[in-house]
Structure 1
Amino acid sequence: MTPATSRRAGGAAMAFALAVLPTALPTSTAQASQPAPTPATETVDVTVTEGTNLAVATSPRDGSILFDLQGQLFTLPREGGTATAIGDITLDPYWPSFSPDGKQIAVQSFADGMFHIRVLTQDGRSSRALTRGDHDDTYPAWSPDGTRVTFTSDRAGGEDIWTVDTRGGEPRRVTTATTAETQPTWAPDGRSIAYVQGNTIESVDLATGAVTTLVPATQGQVAAPSWSPDGRSLSFLRAGPGGRTLQVWQAGVVRQVGAHTDVFPFPARWSSPTELVYGANGAIVATVAASGESKTVPFRATFRLHRDRYKPKARDFDDTEPRPVQGIVGPALSPDGRTVAFKALNDLWLSPLGGTPRKLTDDDAYEIDPAWSRDGTKLAYASDKAGTEDLYVRDIASGQERRITAIDGAEFAPAWSPDGKTLAFQDHANQTLTVDVATGAVTTVLPGAFSVPGKPSWSADGKVLALAVNAAERNQIQLVTLATGASKIVDPGGSVSTRGDDGPVFSPDGRWLAYSRDSVLWVLPVDPDGTPTGRPKRITTEASDAPSWSGDSRTVLHLHNGTLRTATVDGVVKDVPLRLTYTQQRPDTRIIIHAGRLWDGRDAQPKTNVDITVVGNRIRRIEPHRPDRPRDGARFIDASKLTVTPGLVDVHNHQQMRSKTFGDRQGRLLLSYGITATRSTGDAVYRAVEDRESLAAGTRVGPRYFMTGEMLEGTRVNWEFSRPVRDERQLGLELSRIKELDYDLVKTYERFRVDWQAKVTGYAHRLGVGTTSHYLYPAVANGVDSKEHLYGPSKWGFGFARESSLGGPYEDVLQLAARGGMPFSSTLFSAGTLLADDPAMVTDPRVRALFTTQDKQALNAKLLCAQGLGPCGFLDGTPAQARRDVELIKRLLAAGAVVVAGTDAPLDTTALSLHLNLRSMVKYGVTPFQALRSATLDPAKQLGVGADLGTVEPGKLADLLIVGGDPTTDVAALADVRWVLKNGVPHTVPELITPFQR
């Protein structure tokens, strides 16, 4: 299938969605999940003459060239010219190479959701898989006789060299060392295979297994070895401070070949014993090995893009009609099975099953994770009412409560021991602990790690804790024996859906573990210590999360797309009506702002001396200032020496990632730095919906929130807010979740299949919802709306990106982004180096009041890194990296592409990082106007709300920032916040931080 026709599969996403939506859904629900009619699709052809990180292969038959450009295979005459696209756009190829007879092409393909070795015909019209299974097979290279392919595989646990017969059969393992061996190349005599091991190049004799070091470790990382046809020379790449160069080893002597310093990270292909062809500096290069004389092979390659023109979903920001609450977080069924406790609208609630809820709490604090004692008389939960999240226990009958923990940090996710004497819980460092309810004594069960675990659950005898952890890139079940600390991993038959509220949960009688897997509920029969005694049993067929047992161990309460359901162990499902609604906040106020300067978001230069009238949540008028203007009871804000701008938007944010740690501080912190809107790019879905509803209703202080749920991912996952998708049946459930929970965005993540990405995009567009990912192509060809990060982690890891090489990007990236209309988000971690320019940011009153102790420590460490006075973290950059990142932004903008300001907070510092992003842009050459637009009007347009947000104009929502100085000449002035208005409600910085000043 050609690029021109492959998008039709994505165009048929409507039929796909209807075909795979679960048949067990009620008819009305299934009908409600049907999206709108197919939007119009515009076809855009983009022709380029340069490539970024392109891989090259040469045909032994006629010298013609095959190259992989942005994941699309092209063929080219040896002398250059017009390239021809071959292969299916869903092939997702990498590391291409010709067979010795030139009739076949081997690639590392991700077409089926794992890296496998596939062989294509020379014209790309057909292909077949040489390897299969739930593992990654990478870096193919042919044997000299064409009967076998060698590759790297993790099928034995590590990374080893394997071979497979091209005529069929099982792969054979070649290396068995405990080190990682990768990127093999077969010697021309067929007797040995060379490969990369660490920072050396080794060779293994296939007959004896003897290993020889060819290229010893020296300065610079080696990669991509390739034998010459006569076996006398071995080319490879070496990356160092000066870039990545091509090297040739011969008889133990290594020398650089050619002058290129941006050689792309793939094997140079020997077109003869003396000439190499490879990709470098945006071009296809042919170099004579002996002399280093090089020439460029010109090419013209055309991509065909299919861009949907769809109407963004309607958002009524003024409606005050009651809306049903869908943000139900952590529902916990009482032991008698009659009452459910849950979080919604920034409070905890109790509700009889099918009855009317009543508030258990009624305050501004951030409460989370209600948990019943086994006798049903007490409820434990977490709250930041004392400053940070602590554990509390409330007596249900009397309403009296007691604070159980007071650690300097955050404690949450409590779970009662069967005897009611102990609570297991988790903290900000991802530790699992227990606390004695009577004495407050705390014991560590599991130490902290980068990977966030799921909530703990006690066995019936109180001897074992079960929780979801990430093991071998799967969400598995860990069982910890409390007396000894011994633990073991249990495979639940795949991955637990998320590491949050999706289990595992012990039944009170200890006979079952309940959990969500493949987005449906399962129960696993177990021994008292959690050891499985049989196969898991599915008890729901609809999208199901957050299981909670009744005391008799017969029924599991759970969430289905914003509604409560129960399921028996035998699979009988019933609705649980919840009579709870909310209304959007719409202030009944009138405000007049006298602005000394107004940057309206459209013009480069600010207006001066104007009056802005705000009525309710919208801007009514903007007029020249009149000292005698009647105020008619309006609130007056004197900004005559200040500047008014649109509120800022952080377009790449994971707001729920540390919401339990931040609590009520998070929204206040964001507003205090002028951020009036955030866009989630992956979050725990029910916490995200609850946050959106609470912020819209005004029950929580914070920015406007455009939410999404968990990132849709392949079967291997790392982040707790990724949701692994195993098959198309499950994909139908995820589509129902997108529709019924009213996502504002859909994000597909690193290992999500290309064909599924196209289907999800088509479905989302029919709902008026945008999609995003980490990929430029083929995402841009399949209608995906935006790309996260200038370059970032991908299915190939952190070390490779198709969007930027050491010297790139080149024309392919610039034109695909610009002509395809695909905005990039900035996420400039390197901007942290600008803390050295303004160390006072670390001691700002907002930081002192709203950062936790741990956040302050992390920020201070970033400052010391920036000043060269301390170690740097994995994500910290350097001034050189910051300059390089902004050069990429400048080139994208010059080509006509759009870059929007995003931070990846809280992976980068919440709130401060947006200002550092903008400052870094301006410091290294982006104009202040371009930087300001990247955080105001441009993201509003991308969100489909340009008619309501992004500029200061009559009729727009009153999301406004009032700052000292003039950000149109000094973008640092944006951090000097005096007032911020969100939805017409004004806040000063002291008002926002006062509740947390100690």
Structure 2
Amino acid sequence: MRTAKTRRFGGVALVCLLAVSSATAAEAEPGRGGPTTVTVEEGTNLAVAVSPRDGRIVFDLQGQLFSMPRAGGAATAIGDDFLDPFWPVFSPDGGRIALQSFVEGMFHIRTVDADGRDPRQLTRGEYDDLYPAWSPDGKHIAFTSDRQGTEDIWTVDVASGELKRITSARTREIQPTWAPDGRSIAYVQGNSVESVDLATGAVRTVVPAGQGAVAAPSWSPDGRRLAFVRGGPAGRTLAVAESGAVRQVGTFDDVFQFPPRWLSADEVIYGANGRVVVTHVGSASTRVVPFKATFSLDRRPYQRKDYDFDSRREQRVRGIVSPALSPDNRTVVFKALNDLWLMPVGGPPKRLTRDQFHETDPVWSRDGARIAYASDKAGTEDLYAVEVATGKEQRVTSLPGAEVAPTWSPDGRALAFQDQNAQTFTVDLAGGTPTRVLGPQNAPGRPSWSPDGRTLALTVNVAERNQILLADVASGRTRTFEPVPFGSVSTRGDDGPLWSPDGSLLAFSMDSTIWVLPIANGGPSGPPRQVTREASDAPSWGDAKTLLYLNNGRLRLTSVDGAKTQDVPVDLGYARDQPDTRLVIHAGRLWDGRNAAPRTDVDILVVGNRIQKIEPHRPDRVGAGWRFVDAGKLTVTPGLVDMHVHQEMRSKFVGDRLGRLLLSYGITTTRSTGDPAYRALEDRESLDAGARTGPRFFMTGEMLEGSRVGWEFARPVRGEQQLALELSRARELDYDLVKTYERFPFDWQARVTDFAHRLGIPTTSHYLYPGVAHGVDGKEHLTGPTKWGFAFARDSSGNGPYKDVIQLAARSGMAVSTTLFSSSSLLADDPAVVEDRRVRTLYTDQERQVLNAKLLCAQGKGPCGFLDGSPEQARRQVDIVKRLLAAGGTVLAGTDAPLDTMAVSLHLNLRAMGKYGVTPFQVLQSTTLVPARHLGVEDDLGSVEEGKLADLLFVEGDPSRDVAALANVRSVVKNGRVSTVDELLAPYAGRPASG
């Protein structure tokens, strides 16, 4: 059925037709009790403004405006909860509040009245306009904008909207404050505060560099003092510059990075250490202004998606990866179910490969006689070329690293390709050393070779847009351009651009539909033209008039003008792997996932993929047809779950090793929080079918992002029509989760959450509020990157989160993933981790180098990377975990791998929690039962109980006392199938690893 959902902001109705699944759903997730209220008396990173008219205080707390009397007390929520306000400041007459707001997917300057109503937008465009400051006469607002490429100070006329650029230096000028006489504007420049004279343009230094990091300057009413926030070894403090001297005022060590607002020439009000405080800058006396702010949360339960883990019925394959149409339009090659397939258009598919290894990126030669692809069957991801007619195959590359993404030269004598370092090369099939065309890029898309042989086209990320790059093959000279102004290619993967056979067009996906761009003389020769209107990915040319593409798991053909479109049926199915095993597992010790203390000397009887019985051990129990597994000297636990991975980010470079690595460390389930949709779906289907070795995989597609995009596993969404396409993809590809990312508007996030819940699946993001008020299920990272910057989040400050964050997360039931990058500091406790045989055998050379560098950092013997942390950082992060758990919150063990080291990082996360005070029982449940509950599969996974799926881990030691014992894996059972660590490593023992 289809349901219309309308949400209003500022009198504008936003409507989205929601297509809803009618599938049977499981029980609602526990902990969601419907509407609730949470009252808080502390605030994290709250920003304060004071009305000059009546002295009322307005503050931004977690993205909601609240108003209260100057003396404090009960605060009233004002304004729409999707206003997404930031940096509030009253006009000189107290009639309106200026703020930067993200309502339409870019930061713009808006004003609202003193009660948060009547929103008016003053700036527009595909730019970020930040940090508003009123002129003393109330006629203009100064702000920072990147509309000319660098962040400069601008002003906007409040009445007319006229813009004026004030600074134009090549440096970054931010956070303006207007002098009381209106003649100059001060601002932060680097590590200092400067002031520009508006009449002459002369610039002077107000606060010189060297006084500690500075932020949020604010002139006093008499112009004698400048208050600002200063960062240093003692934390963030309030400072005042006066008569050339700078001094600290107040005693707080976590002053929030917003302008202190002057109540008089001697008093400022600001947020610090969770409080609203007033400081007299002369005497430095300080008082706290108490508040109580109440949030209303809608946490209605919903029916969860039904997972039939016992089904034997055939299911249609939808995980079709990298489909390529032959030049004569007659045959398609693609990847599915862990193999490559050849399929006549209108006919049945047949395997081109049949093995356990990881093939990827098939592509036709221009004459249609050969197919090139990448495979790790020789121990690395190398390039191969196979003759379609005879099956004769040539190994083209045998380099130490990984080679992927081949594309044929027009004459068929060479391939262009990419390596694991995102460099682009060419190599002759006749042999020889590859020639580098492009150095490392930020996860570029697959290259396409122009028909004249001169140019490679691919997608790269420039200025947070997925732009088209043209590289001259001979010289390496490049040119980049947007497909349309402020537009992006949908993803940096299989979404193009691809040269047409006659070289006149580039085809690509943009806004999740197929477009073609006329190309001539080394660049665009006209505007792009839209070919399809439905969700469309992975375009592939046949002849110059025909395109193949993917539409939500279906193959479609279209003429290049879009006038004629037809389905290309893929008669390919699979059934879930259902073993016929009959196991008697003798466990010397069993930690079952529900009880803190383990049981001893028990037998676990497994029939098929489920646990039939758990009984006291009997030596005579094994009968005919049963396999005995002796774990009498081991501890059996539930299989582990990593709840935050981007599994496909490195899978094409690592190949078959990835799943074996995860299982060898006891990880029997992973959950993606953002991946290329079709690669993730193919991975899930291959694992479900038993065609690939690895854990269960709960997949999602690309993170839904705003118009600016960075990660290759994010998808920019630029409008209402495209949003509807993204929702259709989530439904038809049967996602297990939808993740919205940093610059995705909050009103859309609420809409997506409503849609996802109707499908029975959760949503997650990097934000606490307003998502927590509109049913968003999870928050990734204790503190993660946000649209305000990696170093800033509303849910954490210098001293960590205050009680508002803990109460909102815990009372709502919103789950929080750990992703403790600082846990790598624990490598100093156990350096042998880097020499573990699983690491030596299944890590790539590059991954081993990264892990070894983390060890040297932990030992103080080498530099630390951007994401590495210290023991003190780990202790502070785990303190947040402890506070969440003590308040009744939900904590999920997750790693962000492969941004952190795959598999090893989960164990380091768990060890860090254990070392710094989380009980072993809570640590173990964070990676077993609690994730199963959050995934909606507690009836099947997460504990060792009769009737549940047989996903088990056998380890030496007692993890219920020492969490580190979880890494001492000897065997693992996934879905009733037993694998020893030796068996998992065997195919790669003694073989070289890819790069």
Q: TM-score range by the shorter chain?
A: over 0.9
The offset of 1:767, in angstroms, is 0.6
Residue matched to 1:74: 66
CA distance in 2, matches of 1:738, 1:354: 27
Residue matched to 1:523: 516
Post-superposition CA distance 1:895-923 (Å, at most 9, x none): 11111000000000000000000000011
Matches within 5 A, 1:103-122: 103-122=95-114
> Is the contact made by 2:25 and 2:303 (CA closer than 8 Å) also made in structure 1?
no
Residue matched to 1:511: 504
CA distance in 2, matches of 1:883, 1:65: 36
> Is the contact made by 1:37 and 1:766 (CA closer than 8 Å) also made in structure 2?
no
> Is the contact made by 1:621 and 1:954 (CA closer than 8 Å) also made in structure 2?
yes
Residue matched to 2:492: 499
Match for 1:403 among 389, 395, 398?
395
Aligned length: 978
Question: Is 1:872 aligned with 2:876?
Answer: no
CA distance in 2, matches of 1:630, 1:469: 60
CA distance in 2, matches of 1:84, 1:271: 21
The offset of 1:809, in angstroms, is 1.3
Question: Is 1:45 aligned with 2:37?
Answer: yes
Residue matched to 1:562: 553
The offset of 1:38, in angstroms, is 15
> Is the contact made by 2:590 and 2:598 (CA closer than 8 Å) also made in structure 1?
yes
Match for 2:532 among 529, 533, 540?
540
Match for 2:841 among 834, 849, 855?
849
> Is the contact made by 2:6 and 2:16 (CA closer than 8 Å) also made in structure 1?
no
Aligned partner of residue 370 in structure 1, secondary structure = strand
Question: Is 1:485 aligned with 2:476?
Answer: yes
> Is the contact made by 1:33 and 1:736 (CA closer than 8 Å) also made in structure 2?
no
The offset of 1:34, in angstroms, is 10
Match for 1:685 among 677, 682, 685?
677
> Is the contact made by 1:460 and 1:528 (CA closer than 8 Å) also made in structure 2?
no
The amino acid of 1:125's aligned partner reads: R
Residue matched to 2:643: 651
> Is the contact made by 1:459 and 1:528 (CA closer than 8 Å) also made in structure 2?
no
Post-superposition CA distance 1:168-193 (Å, at most 9, x none): 23311001100100011111111111
Matches within 5 A, 1:269-418: 269-418=261-410
Matches within 5 A, 1:49-198: 49-198=41-190
CA distance in 2, matches of 1:221, 1:95: 19
Post-superposition CA distance 1:358-398 (Å, at most 9, x none): 00000011000001111111110000001110001111111
Match for 1:910 among 902, 914, 920?
902
After superposing the two structures, state which structure 1 stretch, 439-448 or 139-148, moved more: 439-448
Q: Assess, with a 3 A threshold, how the Cα gap between structure 1 residues 909 and 466 changes in structure 2: closer, same or farther.
A: same
CA distance in 1, matches of 2:753, 2:810: 20
The amino acid of 2:421's aligned partner reads: A
> Is the contact made by 1:404 and 1:440 (CA closer than 8 Å) also made in structure 2?
no
Residue matched to 1:671: 663
Q: Assess, with a 3 A threshold, how the Cα gap between structure 1 residues 258 and 269 changes in structure 2: closer, same or farther.
A: same
> Is the contact made by 2:66 and 2:77 (CA closer than 8 Å) also made in structure 1?
yes
Matches within 5 A, 1:914-993: 914-993=906-985
Question: Is 1:634 aligned with 2:626?
Answer: yes
The offset of 1:828, in angstroms, is 0.2
The offset of 1:210, in angstroms, is 0.8
Residue matched to 1:27: none
CA distance in 2, matches of 1:400, 1:315: 42
The amino acid of 2:548's aligned partner reads: L
> Is the contact made by 2:505 and 2:518 (CA closer than 8 Å) also made in structure 1?
yes
CA distance in 2, matches of 1:57, 1:542: 47
The offset of 1:51, in angstroms, is 0.5
CA distance in 1, matches of 2:25, 2:890: 28
Indicate the RMSD between aligned Cα atoms, in angstroms.
1.7
The amino acid of 1:689's aligned partner reads: L
Residue matched to 2:993: none
Post-superposition CA distance 1:656-685 (Å, at most 9, x none): 001111100100000000000000000000
The amino acid of 1:979's aligned partner reads: S
Residue matched to 1:25: none
The amino acid of 2:665's aligned partner reads: Y
Matches within 5 A, 1:693-732: 693-732=685-724
Aligned partner of residue 658 in structure 1, secondary structure = helix
The offset of 1:877, in angstroms, is 0.5
Post-superposition CA distance 1:928-957 (Å, at most 9, x none): 111101000001110000110000000000
The offset of 1:18, in angstroms, is 2.3
The amino acid of 2:374's aligned partner reads: A
The offset of 1:15, in angstroms, is 10
CA distance in 2, matches of 1:969, 1:458: 58
Post-superposition CA distance 1:848-906 (Å, at most 9, x none): 00011111111110100000000010000111110110111111111111110000000
Aligned partner of residue 18 in structure 1, secondary structure = strand
Residue matched to 1:24: none
Residue matched to 1:778: 770
Residue matched to 2:452: 461
CA distance in 1, matches of 2:181, 2:539: 60
CA distance in 2, matches of 1:811, 1:871: 35
Q: Assess, with a 3 A threshold, how the Cα gap between structure 1 residues 413 and 319 changes in structure 2: closer, same or farther.
A: same
The offset of 1:441, in angstroms, is 2.3
Question: Is 1:470 aligned with 2:458?
Answer: no
The amino acid of 1:589's aligned partner reads: T
CA distance in 1, matches of 2:23, 2:586: 49
> Is the contact made by 1:104 and 1:122 (CA closer than 8 Å) also made in structure 2?
yes
Structure 1 residues not aligned, in runs of 5+: 1-5, 20-29
> Is the contact made by 1:7 and 1:781 (CA closer than 8 Å) also made in structure 2?
no
Task: Report % sequence identity.
Answer: 66
CA distance in 2, matches of 1:787, 1:934: 15
CA distance in 2, matches of 1:376, 1:60: 75
Post-superposition CA distance 1:311-341 (Å, at most 9, x none): 1111100101110000000001011110000
The offset of 1:37, in angstroms, is 14
Question: Is 1:615 aligned with 2:607?
Answer: yes
The offset of 1:490, in angstroms, is 2.1
> Is the contact made by 2:27 and 2:304 (CA closer than 8 Å) also made in structure 1?
no
> Is the contact made by 2:215 and 2:229 (CA closer than 8 Å) also made in structure 1?
yes
CA distance in 2, matches of 1:413, 1:503: 12
> Is the contact made by 1:511 and 1:528 (CA closer than 8 Å) also made in structure 2?
no
Q: Assess, with a 3 A threshold, how the Cα gap between structure 1 residues 38 and 326 changes in structure 2: closer, same or farther.
A: same
The offset of 1:225, in angstroms, is 0.5
> Is the contact made by 1:79 and 1:297 (CA closer than 8 Å) also made in structure 2?
yes
The offset of 1:630, in angstroms, is 3.4
Residue matched to 1:800: 792
CA distance in 2, matches of 1:278, 1:382: 58
The amino acid of 2:17's aligned partner reads: L
Residue matched to 1:584: 576
CA distance in 2, matches of 1:924, 1:573: 60
Matches within 5 A, 1:432-443: 432-443=424-435
Residue matched to 1:3: none
CA distance in 2, matches of 1:116, 1:36: 41
After superposing the two structures, state which structure 1 stretch, 225-234 or 805-814, moved more: 805-814
The offset of 1:400, in angstroms, is 1.2
CA distance in 2, matches of 1:816, 1:245: 27
Aligned partner of residue 896 in structure 1, secondary structure = coil
> Is the contact made by 1:308 and 1:765 (CA closer than 8 Å) also made in structure 2?
no
Post-superposition CA distance 1:801-830 (Å, at most 9, x none): 111111131111011101111010000000
Question: Is 1:573 aligned with 2:539?
Answer: no
> Is the contact made by 1:592 and 1:631 (CA closer than 8 Å) also made in structure 2?
no
Q: Assess, with a 3 A threshold, how the Cα gap between structure 1 residues 605 and 8 changes in structure 2: closer, same or farther.
A: farther
CA distance in 1, matches of 2:906, 2:560: 49
CA distance in 1, matches of 2:25, 2:498: 39
The offset of 1:478, in angstroms, is 0.4
Question: Is 1:18 aligned with 2:9?
Answer: no
Q: Assess, with a 3 A threshold, how the Cα gap between structure 1 residues 33 and 231 changes in structure 2: closer, same or farther.
A: farther
